[in-house]
Structures are given as structure tokens and as C-alpha cells.
Chain A
Amino acid sequence: MLSDVLQDLLDEGLPLLGEHLVLVLSAILIASAIAIPLGVAVAANPRWRRIAIGIANIGQTIPSLALFGFLIPIPFIGGIGQHTAIIALVVYALLPILRNTVTGILGVDPAVRDSAVAMGMTDGQILRMVELPLAAPVIISGLRIATVTTIGTATIAAAIGAGGLGVFIFRGIASVDKVQILAGAVPSALLALAADGALSWIEKRWVAA
């Protein structure tokens, strides 16, 4: 009896876990592809820096259920389904990655940057060989924060038909079924812990090469 229930949960849960991972990984990859280059570009300029972080801040202050709702009626980028959810998750993930990229780049010892310039390194060489490797632990820490948050926020994506572990949670709430709620909540919490652990490990072990 009990094992039948578990078997059913597992049969349905594994694909949902897969969907959840796809949501999270796509959102983090896209957010990194935007926020890391943007952070590098604005780091040196206080004005652009404020503007970029200000915009990313606004994104983050919109309540998540509201943001998912806002996006549905928007043509092309909106609608019901996975891509809308990914866009919303990207909006949330931008700020921690952007902020940590800027912090990491600004944290490079000015004497080190100075001597890189004095040695005749080009801007690209300084970025690639000096700034990014030295900023990497701080950037990875931003990725970690973004990933952990996104794993949680992605449970709400089920509300707009994007699937993921939130499907269990919403269905459990609707039918007052604790087992279903836990079947969604426990794996997403474990996933968040695992991501946090793995990325902290990389952050600590990072030896710029």
C-alpha cells in the first residue's frame, strides 16, 4: 500500500525533478551569460555600475508570483510554459551574479592591476589572466546564491504550467495532501543544499590558474 504510493510518487517525481533541473540550469546559464560580461563591463565606471545594479535590483523586488503572472500576456516572450518561467528565473538570478562579479573585479589589488598595465598587458589579457581568475571565488559565490534561490523560486513555475517539483506542491495544497506537498518540498530543499555544498566546495578549492 505505502510502497505503491511511493512508487507512484517516484514515477511521477523523477521527470518533475528533471524538469526542475532544466529550469534551474537554463536560468543560471542565461543569467551568467548576461550578468558576468555586464559586471565586467560596468565594474570600472561608478555611474554605469549604479545603473546596472539598480535595474537588476528592480527585477529582484517584483514578487515572484506576480512576475510570472505579468509575463503570461506578453507576446513572444510570455505565455504559458517553460520558457516564460525561465525568463522570470533569469530576472531573479541576475542580481547576485552581477553584484558579485562587480565586487570581485573591484576587489583585485590595484597594485596588481597597475603592474599588469605597466608590463604592457592588453585590456583583454588583464581581464583573462589577472582579473577574472582573482575574482573567480567571489563570482562563484554569486552563482551559488543565485542557484540556491532559483531552485526555490522554480517551484512557483508550476503555477504557469512550467512543470518542476512545484507541481507536487501546488497539487498537494489544492487537495490538502501532505504527502504530495512533502514530495515537492523535500527534494527541492535537498537539491538546494546539494547545490550550495557543491558550489561552496568549488569556491573554497578555487586556485586561480
Chain B
Amino acid sequence: MSLIEFRQTAFRIGSKSILENFTLAIEPGETVVLLGRSGSGKTTALRLINGMHLPTGGQVLVEGRATTDWDLVRLRRSIGYVIQESGLFPHFTVERNVGLGPRLEGWPDARIAERVGAVLDSVSLPRDDFRARLPKQLSGGQRQRVGVARALAADPKILLFDEPFGALDPVTRLELQREFLRLRAEAGRTSVFVTHDVREAMKLGTRIALLQAGQLVFIGTPAEFQACRIPEARAFLEVFEDGE
């Protein structure tokens, strides 16, 4: 059984079709990158996984159960979510931000404190330096690290990333991409990662799913992607080959 499965999923708002006939199965341990131009439907696809959108056609299954049958609060608590502006709670310290998931799940205080320390360390933010800070006392890169730590804290099976490094300077971005690969090697979680950056997609994805105007036009490994003849893929690869 796939961990996440889109089955002919459609999503419409009014008469406007955002996602059409979308079929994709994601296996445990994969990092599937959703690549596409802005407006191609990547965020929509991501939000269909944690039930922030419900399909208007077809189904999205998580652990074999349709999102429409899940208790959405339970579903979301088992999925970590990282977004571009990190969405950290500005009035919570780093410690409260990161500990929120476990707290909602009713973990005892001592276990929360231990877990918060461990995940902060794991994203290279020494716990004693960062615990008591407010988000406004962090750099952009540090905020994204805290965002990742917060998503990891309740030990979710699935992690969703929506252009998490999109607003960072190139050096910090590279650092965080390396961090991502290191964490993945250690924890082996399943991730779905949205980006419009083809280099990031090639670097991080075990498979790349290419979206164009709400349709899935390619799915395959980075090597397969590089050999792919679809015009939209060529357009992205031109950017890639133009780079380094």
C-alpha cells in the first residue's frame, strides 16, 4: 500500500479547474518533488494531502484511507508542514513553537522539553542558544530551520514542504538543502517537496513530478527527467543546463 495516493484527483474552485485527473502514488521513504511554474497547481496538490483542500473529484488516500474519511485534525497532526515564510507563531518562543505539536498531542512536559532540544540540535540550532528566542530575533535561515524543527517535533510519517527555501539567499539555501539531505539520510521519512527551482528538484528529489497547468505531465527519477523530451521538461532543463 502506498503511503500517499492521488487517484484521478480533481480540484475545482467554482467553475475554475485547478487540478485535473491527477494520479500519483508515493511510497514510504521517497522524496517526491512537485516541480512546476508558479500557478501550475503545486501548492494545491500539497494541501490536498493534509486535507487543507478536499478533492472535488477522485480521491486522495493517506495510509490507504481517503482524506474525506479522515478526522482532519488527526490527519494533520500526523503530517509536518513547512512553508516559505515559516508561519512561526510570532508570539511564541522557539521552544513553544517547536513544542506545540507534541503539546497538542498531550505529551508530558519533560518529554516535550527533551524532544524540542533534540530536534533543534538536529537542524543545527544549539538548543541553549535558541530556545528562548522569539521568531523576530532570528535570521531568515534560522526561521526556516525552526520551521523544519517544528514540523519534525511530533515525529510525523509524512513531511510536506512548500518552497521552504524560496526566500533565502543562495548560500543559506544551499546550506539548508544539504541539511535536508542529511536529515533524510538519518530519518528516512517520506517527503513531498514543492519547488519551481529545477536545480533544487534535481538535488533533493528521489522522483520528480512535473506539473503544467494543473496536470501531471511527467513523473520519474531525476535521471529520467533529464532525458525527458516533453516540452515543459525541456523548458526547465534549459534553465538547469544554462546554470552550472
Same complex origin of A and B: yes
The answer to whether residues A134 and B90 also contact, given A118-B50, A118-B81, A121-B104 and a CB cut-off of 8 A, is: yes
A-B pairs, 3 with minimum CB distance: A115-B87, A120-B77, A208-B91
Contact among A117, A130, A134 for B76, CB-based, below 8 A: A117
Q: What mask results when residues 114 to 134 of chain A are scored 1 for a CB within 8 Å of chain B, else 0?
A: 111111111001000110011
Cβ distance B141 to chain A, nearest Cβ, rounded Å: 17
Q: Which residues of B contact A208 (CB under 8 A)?
A: 91
Task: Count how many chain B residues have C-beta atoms less than 8 Å from C-beta atoms of the other chain.
Answer: 24
Mostly, the B contact residues are mixed
A105 to B59, CA, bound (A): 34
A118 to B72, CA, bound (A): 10
Q: For chain B, residues 32 to 85, give those with C-beta under 8 angstroms from any C-beta of chain A.
A: 50, 52, 72-77, 79, 81, 83-85
A133 to B96, CA, bound (A): 14
> Does any Cβ of B come within 8 Å of A66's Cβ?
no
Q: Which residues of B contact A119 (CB under 8 A)?
A: 76-77, 81, 100-101, 104, 150
Closest to A209 in B: B91
Closest to B101 in A: A119
Contact among B52, B89, B90, B91 for A118, CB-based, below 8 A: B52
A112 to B90, CA, bound (A): 8
Contact among B74, B77, B81, B87 for A112, CB-based, below 8 A: B87
Q: For chain A, residues 122 to 149, give those with C-beta under 8 angstroms from any C-beta of chain B.
A: 122, 125, 129-130, 133-134
A66 to B44, CA, bound (A): 55
Most buried by A among B75, B87, B150: B87
A133 to B89, CA, bound (A): 11
Q: A120, B85: Cβ atoms under 8 Å?
A: no
A114 to B104, CA, bound (A): 16
> Does any Cβ of B come within 8 Å of A2's Cβ?
no
Q: A111, B77: Cβ atoms under 8 Å?
A: no
Q: B83, A120: Cβ atoms under 8 Å?
A: no
Q: A111, B104: Cβ atoms under 8 Å?
A: no
Most buried by A among B75, B84, B100, B101: B100
> Does any Cβ of B come within 8 Å of A174's Cβ?
no
Q: A120, B74: Cβ atoms under 8 Å?
A: yes
Q: Which residues of A contact B81 (CB under 8 A)?
A: 115, 118-119
Q: List 12 A-B contacts (CB under 8 A).
A: A111-B84, A111-B85, A111-B86, A115-B81, A115-B87, A118-B83, A119-B76, A119-B81, A119-B104, A120-B77, A129-B89, A134-B91
Cβ distance B159 to chain A, nearest Cβ, rounded Å: 11
Task: Count how many chain A residues have C-beta atoms less than 8 Å from C-beta atoms of the other chain.
Answer: 20
Q: Which residues of B contact A130 (CB under 8 A)?
A: 89
Q: A111, B83: Cβ atoms under 8 Å?
A: yes
Closest to B50 in A: A118
Q: Which residues of A contact B85 (CB under 8 A)?
A: 109, 111
The answer to whether residues A117 and B90 also contact, given A111-B83, A111-B85, A125-B104 and a CB cut-off of 8 A, is: no
Apart from A115-B81, A207-B91, what 4 extra A-B contacts exist at CB < 8 Å?
A111-B84, A114-B83, A115-B83, A120-B73
Q: What mask results when residues 151 to 165 of chain B are scored 1 for a CB within 8 Å of chain A, else 0?
A: 000000000100000
Q: Which residues of B contact A121 (CB under 8 A)?
A: 73, 104
Closest to A115 in B: B87
Q: What mask results when residues 120 to 164 of chain B are scored 1 for a CB within 8 Å of chain A, else 0?
A: 000000000000000000000000000000100000000010000
Q: For chain A, residues 175 to 208, give those with C-beta under 8 angstroms from any C-beta of chain B.
A: 207-208
A209 to B89, CA, bound (A): 11
A193 to B37, CA, bound (A): 57
Cβ distance A138 to chain B, nearest Cβ, rounded Å: 14
Q: B76, A120: Cβ atoms under 8 Å?
A: yes
Closest to B135 in A: A112
Q: Which residues of A contact B89 (CB under 8 A)?
A: 112, 115-116, 129-130
Q: Which residues of B contact A109 (CB under 8 A)?
A: 85, 87, 90
